[in-house]
Amino acid sequence: MTVATQSTAMPTAGQHGLVAHSDGPVVPVQTRSERFRSVEVADFAPVTGREHEWKLSPVAAFADLTSGELDGARLGLETSGAEGVAVEWIARDDARIGTAGTPEERASANAWTNFGEALLVRVTGEDDKIATVTRTGLGATPRAAHTVIEAAPNSRGLVVLGGTGSARLSENVEVIVGEGANLTVVSVQEWDDDAVHLASHFARIGRDAKLKHIVVSLGGKVVRVNPSTHLAEQGGDVEALGLYFSDAGQHLEQQVYVHHDAPNTRSRVTYKGALQGEGARSVWIGDVLIGNAAVGTDSYEQNRNLVLSDGTRADSIPNLEIETGDIAGAGHASATGRFDDEQLFYLMARGITEEEARRLVVRGFLTEIVQQIGVAELEERLTAALEAELQGA
Amino acid sequence: MSVLEIKNLHVNVETDQGTREILRGVDLVINEGEIHAIMGPNGSGKSTLAYTIAGHPKYTVVEGEILLDGENVLEMSVDERARAGLFLAMQYPVEIPGVTVTNFLRTAKTAIDGEAPSVRHWVKDVRTAMGNLKMDSAFAERNVNEGFSGGEKKRNEILQLELLKPKFAVLDETDSGLDVDALKIVSEGVNRAKENTGLGILLITHYTRILRYIKPDFVHVFVAGKIAEQGGPELADRLEDEGYDRYQVAETASAE
Ligand SMILES: Nc1ncnc2c1ncn2[C@@H]1O[C@H](COP(=O)(O)OP(=O)(O)O)[C@@H](O)[C@H]1O
Ligand SMILES: [Mg+2]
């Protein structure tokens, strides 16, 4: 059974509050598990922009990343470590590389073909700990990168993978969550206004392991972070969260894929975004595949967008594909609501200033995700960054 | 002694078909502690009057004045009017996604008072006010008006009236769409607010039934953008029997 719903919101003056699109038309989609995969860029045809994985992306803005030569040298990093988190460069032939996933599109394959060494972030030990790796100063050179984040069995930890400054980067991030491990990965995109960043994250969740994966996209001209999670062993659990604020001329995209492939696995996908300004654009595609081995699956995915001004566009497309009847639950929701003049009037009629009214609504809307990050300092910084976005800074 | 004065108010609205004149010279003086009922048929301009007092940007004042204790209300922004002591209970309260009732009330109270309310008293005040209005405490954590029934939205308006303590409140068809029980609860809330703060009330309604629970000092019949007749509570009884036809016929005749 395949259920797909699609909503494309180009707000109109009459749109109030949140409009649910959960009962949209049923459109058949290609079976996600049958998609072509390869680590070789030459195996993919040149990108035209008509492919299902590219059709909502501004492909002309990053032809260098999908078809050009990429510099695979080590990226400039700022790291703040913790005991039990090792950060090192490993060779292309390391056995871990390729164990969490395989590229499904050309930018990802191009990065895979061209990276030199991979960055390994290895988490061990049962104490909670936080490590941060920020990529910075990447400049205008089109680059390829590969990162492996590995949580040893029964380990716990939180890894922040950040990006600042200018960049033209295509990369793959493999997340290997060992048996019984509990890992949080926060990918924070705070690039400069001209940056282009295309990322594919591939997570493989071991038996009874848990991954919390959070994508925060604020800065960059085009930012596309596509996390795939393979719930490959029984009892695996993924909580995939996302937060984005798209302002004038920005394209922020995320294609989230969860593959339930073992008994009694659980997934929760919650992405929330705000859009403000002429040409602010967001794309969210959420594919959930419940394979025939995945009895007892419990799955729910949702995307909510808050539109703060005219001239924006939010695409929101949940797809659910179920190959077994024996599941605990599966659902999806998608809604795009507008913060409109009537809401502003209502709040101001209670004495609240216009600035405060906007802040109130956006903060209320996005806080649910911010609070999940679990790093107080980062939560505060992101809250401040969101308020700066609101003020058009 | 506070007073809200409306003098020769003319208001236009921009529509797709061009500018329309809706209010055509409204005069009204409301003193603190008075209840004025404005009654009129649909489309006569009652909500326009309410929105204009609150400062909704869609309505343009082309002539006349609104004064609050002598201050020019028309020069104030929407939020300044609220902070000056004006309150509008809306006919169709707006849903605010992502903002809980608790957060909204605290933010509004802080804005109106110019300082955050003392936490201990505030929490108690909110709980008491919600209890009085028979609102389940779960409402506090829901988003403002989101998924509320019509009656719940109206209660939420009166909750704000009781907590924000304005000098003057305009209640725009607060009674519409309420069953008898809800109507009583909401009316009690309005009467309680008046007892506690002595506010002046402009009670806009289409029907007379709310006047059984909220006793007006003055009744104004509103037809075609102005006050066609005014009197005491007995005027409401006459409207109950005769309806608005008499005024509308007169209006049509005078227009010819
Ligand atoms: N925003 C608006 N745009 C267009 N027409 C409006 C608008 N507001 C009010 N009107 C028109 O003005 C007239 C009075 O409306 P309203 O003030 O809502 O009346 P009432 O509240 O007495 O029913 C109606 O004919 C209505 O269609
Ligand atoms: Mg009305």
Extents of the domains making up chain A:
33-338, 340-393
Specify the DSSP element, H or E, that contains B248. helix B245-255
| pLDDT tens per residue across span B124-175 | 999 999 999 999 999 999 999 999 999 999 999 999 999 999 999 999 999 9
Distance (Å) from the alpha carbon of A388 to chain B's nearest alpha carbon: 19
| pLDDT tens per residue across span B11-61 | 999 889 999 999 999 999 999 999 999 999 999 999 999 999 999 999 999
The domain of B240 spans 3-90+166-251
The CATH code of the domain that includes B201 is 3.40.50.300
Select the more confidently predicted residue: A122 or A21: A122
Given this model, what pLDDT does residue A374 score?
A: 82
Chain B environment of A346 (Cβ under 8 Å): 90, 93-94, 96
Given this model, what pLDDT does residue B242 score?
A: 87
Q: Confidence class of residue A1 from pLDDT cuts 50, 70 and 90?
A: very low
pLDDT reading at B192 higher than 50: yes
Chain A environment of B167 (Cβ under 8 Å): none
% of chain A at pLDDT higher than 90 = 79
Cα–Cα distance measured from residue A46 to residue A54, given in angstroms and rounded to the nearest whole number = 11
Q: Are A218 and A186 in contact (CB under 8 A)?
A: no
Cβ–Cβ gap B112/A351 under 8 Å: yes
Nearest CA in chain A to B166: A350
pLDDT reading at B75 higher than 80: yes
Provide the number of structural domains found in chain B.
1
pLDDT reading at A329 higher than 90: yes
**C-beta B22 within 6 A of ligand 1:** yes
Q: Are B155 and B133 in contact (CB under 8 A)?
A: yes
3-class secondary structure, B86: strand
Specify the DSSP element, H or E, that contains B26. strand B18-31
Given this model, what pLDDT does residue B255 score?
A: 46
Given this model, what pLDDT does residue A338 score?
A: 85
Closest residue by Cα to atom 27, ligand 1, is B43
Cβ–Cβ gap A356/B111 under 8 Å: yes
Cβ–Cβ gap B93/A356 under 8 Å: no
Angle, helices A354-370/A341-348, rounded to nearest 10 degrees: 110
Q: Confidence class of residue A8 from pLDDT cuts 50, 70 and 90?
A: low
* Torsion on CA atoms A348, B109, A356, A214, rounded to nearest 10: -120
**C-beta B58 within 6 A of ligand 1:** yes
3-class secondary structure, B240: helix
Distance (Å) from the alpha carbon of B221 to chain A's nearest alpha carbon: 26
Mutant choice from A350, A358, A365 vs B, greatest count of B C-beta within 10 A: A350
pLDDT reading at A113 higher than 60: yes
Burial of A276 (0-12, 13-18, 19+ CB in 10 A): buried
Q: Are B183 and B208 in contact (CB under 8 A)?
A: no
Given this model, what pLDDT does residue A363 score?
A: 85
* Residue of B14, B44, B48 to mutate, ligand 1, most atoms within 8 A of C-beta: B48
Which ligand has the minimum distance to the alpha carbon of residue B222?
A: 1
Ligand 1 centroid to Cα of residue B26, in Å, is: 15
Closest residue by Cα to atom 7, ligand 1, is B13
pLDDT reading at A7 higher than 60: no
User: Does residue B96 fall inside a structural domain?
Assistant: no
Q: Are A386 and A362 in contact (CB under 8 A)?
A: yes
Chain A environment of B94 (Cβ under 8 Å): 16-17, 342-343, 345-346
Angle, helices B150-164/B180-197, rounded to nearest 10 degrees: 10
Question: The tokens of B188 are what?
Answer: 């009690």
User: In A, what residues contact B, Cβ < 8 A?
Assistant: 16-18, 306, 337, 339, 341-343, 345-354, 356, 360-366
Contact residues for A82 (Cβ-Cβ < 8 A; gap 6+): A129, A130, A131, A157
Alpha carbon of residue A136 to chain centroid: 19
Given this model, what pLDDT does residue A17 score?
A: 32
One-letter-per-residue 3-state SS of chain A: CEEECCEEECCCCCCCEEEECCCCCCCCCCCHHHCCCCCCHHHCCCCCCCCCCCCCCCHHHHHHHHHCCCECCCCCEEEECECCEEEEEECCCCCCCCCCCCCCCHHHHHHHHHCCCEEEEEECCCCCCEEEEEECCCCCCEEEEEEEEEECCCCEEEEEEEEEECCEEEEEEEEEECCCCEEEEEEEEEECCCCEEEEEEEEEECCCCEEEEEEEEEECCEEEEEEEEEECCCCCEEEEEEEEEEECCCEEEEEEEEEECCCCCEEEEEEEEEEECCCCEEEEEEEEEECCCCCCCEEEEEEEEEECCCCCEEEEEEEEEECCCCCCEEEEEEEEEECCHHHHHHHHCCCCCHHHHHHHHHHHHHHHHHCCCCCHHHHHHHHHHHHHHHCCC
Q: Confidence class of residue B1 from pLDDT cuts 50, 70 and 90?
A: confident
Cα–Cα distance measured from residue A282 to residue A191, given in angstroms and rounded to the nearest whole number = 16
Contact residues for A292 (Cβ-Cβ < 8 A; gap 6+): A323, A324
CA-closest candidate to residue A196, choices A244, A142, A133, A135:
A142
pLDDT reading at A359 higher than 90: no
Cα–Cα distance measured from residue A69 to residue A2, given in angstroms and rounded to the nearest whole number = 38
Cα–Cα distance measured from residue A356 to residue A387, given in angstroms and rounded to the nearest whole number = 10
Closest residue by Cα to atom 10, ligand 1, is B13
Query: Please, what is the average pLDDT of chain B?
Result: 94
* Residue of B9, B13, B171 to mutate, ligand 1, most atoms within 8 A of C-beta: B13
ipTM tops the 0.90 cut: yes
| pLDDT tens per residue across span A206-232 | 999 999 999 999 999 999 999 999 999
Q: What is the mean pLDDT of residues B201-215?
A: 95
Question: The tokens of A236 are what?
Answer: 């695996």
Alpha carbon of residue B4 to chain centroid: 13
